[in-house]
Chains A and B, each alone.
Chain A
Amino acid sequence: MSIKTKLFAATALSLVSASALTAETITIATVNNGDMIRMQGYTDNFTAKTGHTVEWVTLEENVLRQRVTTDISTKGGTFDIMTIGMYETPIWGANGWLVGLDDLSADYDAADILPAMAGGLSHDGTLYAAPFYGESSMIMYRADLMDAAGMEMPAAPTWDFIRSAAAAMTDRDNDINGICLRGKAGWGEGGAFITAMSNSFGARWFDMDWNAQFDTDAWANTLNFYKGMMDESGPAGYATNGFNENLSLFQQGKCGMWIDATVAASFVTNPNDSTVADKVGFALAPDTGLGKRSNWLWAWALAIPAGTQKEAAAKEFIEWATSKDYIELVAANEGWANVPPGARTSLYENPEYQKVPFAQMTLDSILSADPQNSTVEPSPYVGVQFAAIPEFAGIATEVSQEFSAAYAGQQTVAEALAKAQAITNEAMEAAGYR
């Protein structure tokens, strides 16, 4: 063996040893969403690149929230990365529970993250979670039914147009409902929809002194309009329909219009699952001319809990999973329609992605949502379909239960709003806001 060969062998051996020494096993808590599951399938690519291995803990969304909240607040250290949303990130960041991500490498190009996403996942200017995919909400409609009704969907319609179009498209004999919307109780289900809708009607959750605003005309108009339209043109039992129920109805051709998460566009246009895949059009979520539309903003993002022993490896994973390279990896294997959307500006500049039918409308919807300034009148909170305060999830779940009861006809809209007002004020007083 020559000296050169020996030197080469020694160098290779030391490199392998070094990588084995630094290789870690990181544990990631995540939700069972299509994009997240797809990412799990590419974990080998990350391991081959870095030497780190990954253990996945997939949980139902609400269980995940409870689980990671317990772990992070007790410094359990069970997870090295957790999948969290735009609601938790600023709150947990403010509590010092998350590791700041401002020092990601130059190659990562953090400036490429869509500003709306970066803003919603930051606290005091520090990014605490990197968006894996982002979404807004928009109108998905049946172009064939719209044509048959003799109407044309504007790119940015009003709620009045939507109501009249829904009535025109409704065909009870053929089991076609003009419009399908979330009514299910839960702050992330019907609660998210009605809050985003209320923004376009000039309503807000709180005034600048944190007083509940459910006794205003704006909220009464929102709920009366929603219930009136859904009673006229919505599916039976809409009070218990959430994202998945409406997705199923739309895919079976039983909805004329559906206003929901932009991420649903890839589901309803997938011919393997949807019977109406080639008949779907898209438009911005409606407004009432007051300057705010009824679309929300959300991101599923990856964050590192403070106190993890594997921060460096966790950051490497986040850089890999939310990188431009990962998007290209998915596109190369599964097509551009299946890449995680709504996180990076460069994705929407890519000519290949621009060919995806819902790409531009998704971007326009995301860009038209402003979590810092989501209501017509000033409000003291950040967030479009939520208020980023720890108490909101509990309050909004209770309030949405009252609203769902009104949709189901178990009480009047006025009664539901009166209860919502009392619930909210009582909780805010107990929490020391008032």
Chain B
Amino acid sequence: MARAVTQQRKIINTTLAWGVGLLIFFPILWTILTSFKTEAQAIADPPIFLGFDWTLENYAAVMERSNYSRFLWNSIIIAGGSTLLGILIAVPAAWSMAFVPSKRTKDILLWMLSTKMLPAVGVLYPIYLICIQFGILDSKIALVIILMLINLPIIVWMLYTYFKEIPGEILEAARMDGASLKEEVLYVLTPMAIPGIASTVLLNVILAWNEAFWTLNLTAAKAAPLTAFIASYSSPEGLFYAKLSAASTMAIAPILILGWFSQKQLVSGLTFGAVK
């Protein structure tokens, strides 16, 4: 009897999980489907789900009009660069907070998180003027720095949580064996925290890849990433949903593929320490 209840619950849970998963995935699925419709079919009322003439004309139009590879390259550099820089800064910061905490550590962590509560537009003009002053407007370096700063609190928090799970005695043992601070962080702590660092890197890449406010406001022709590529297909006068969907699909495809192949690390990292 108990076994039957468990089985029943399992089916219900599985069904529920699939239902929620499909619900969350539906907008992406709809975007992908729309990208294969004509403009008229894309906005048809009632909406057409699968019964339409599949076409690649939107992809052809997007490829003809835009230099996709340039936008893609900019996205890779900006997302990758900001993540790498963020990790380089966050690992030592999280190490010190996790293993050598002071009485202000909690306050510092909360203060770091509070910077995420400021609406981005509130600092648009100061950041814009700084970029002009340093001659880095419409440059990838500006976005690498800014996105790193924006995501740094999350990276530090995540790494801090992972590091807290690692017994301090192991590091102490390494110290007793004569490991320097650099060796302790590089050869003892980092290998043990690899799953946590991997999931932090993945999450940060996704956040940086999808960031739209700063990437739209600080770029023009040279450093514009895929967010600007998508934005260029919205039109106030004329049907655009199918082409916009094709552009969106092309923009999210690399990150979807990355997420698909690394979902194991992502899930294990995100749920690390969740159940105690």
Contact = CB atoms under 8 A, between A and B. Distances in A.
A169 interface: no
Contacts of A57: 220-221, 224, 228, 232
Contacts of B236: 31, 33, 60-61, 188, 243-244
Given A27-B221, A188-B236, A70 B45 contact: no
Contacts of A66: 217
A33 B220 contact: no
A219 B231 CA distance: 36
Interface stretch (A10-18, A72-80, A309-317): A72-80
Interface in B206-244: 216-217, 220-222, 224, 228, 231-240
Nearest to B224: A57
B247 to A, nearest CB: 10
Interface in B121-171: 124-125, 128-129, 132, 137-138
Nearest to B44: A252
Q: Interface residues of B toward A: which range?
A: 20 to 34
B231 A249 contact: no
B234 A32 contact: yes
Contacts of A267: 238
A55 B237 contact: no
Given A63-B231, A70-B217, A244-B238, A78 B45 contact: no
B138 A40 contact: no
Q: Find the residue from A63, A188, A244, A264 having the highest chain B CB count within 10 A.
A: A244
Interface in A248-272: 248-249, 251-252, 254, 261, 263-264, 267
Contacts of A74: 125, 128-129, 132
A63 B215 CA distance: 12
Q: Find the residue from A32, A61, A243, A248 having the highest chain B CB count within 10 A.
A: A32
Nearest to B138: A78
A407 to B, nearest CB: 18
A84 interface: no
B124 A244 contact: no
Interface in A66-109: 66-67, 70-71, 74-79
Q: Find the residue from B124, B125, B132, B235 having the highest chain A CB count within 10 A.
A: B235
A9 interface: no
A343 interface: no
Interface string B17-52: 000000000000000000000011001110000000
Q: Interface residues of A toward B: which range?
A: 35 or more
Nearest to B229: A58
A145 B189 CA distance: 77
Contacts of A27: 220-221
B40 A252 contact: yes
Contacts of A432: none
A247 B128 contact: no
Interface in A35-79: 37, 40, 55-61, 63, 66-67, 70-71, 74-79
Given A76-B132, A244-B240, A264-B237, A32 B232 contact: yes
B140 to A, nearest CB: 15
A76 B39 CA distance: 37
A29 interface: yes
A57 B132 CA distance: 19
A33 B238 contact: yes
A58 B39 contact: no
A273 interface: yes
Interface string A182-217: 000000100000000000000000000000000000
Contact of A60 (B44, B132, B231): B231
B220 A78 contact: yes
Interface string A300-336: 0000000000000000000000000000000000000
Q: Which 3 pairs between the two chains have the least Cβ-Cβ distance?
A: A55-B221, A58-B232, A60-B234
Given A31-B235, A248-B239, 5 more contacts: A55-B222, A57-B221, A70-B125, A74-B125, A76-B128
28 contacts: A32-B233, A32-B234, A34-B237, A40-B65, A55-B221, A55-B222, A56-B221, A59-B228, A59-B231, A60-B235, A61-B236, A67-B216, A76-B137, A77-B132, A78-B137, A243-B237, A244-B43, A244-B235, A244-B236, A244-B237, A244-B240, A249-B45, A251-B40, A252-B40, A254-B45, A263-B237, A264-B237, A267-B238
Interface of B: 39-40, 43-45, 65, 124-125, 128-129, 132, 137-138, 216-217, 220-222, 224, 228, 231-240
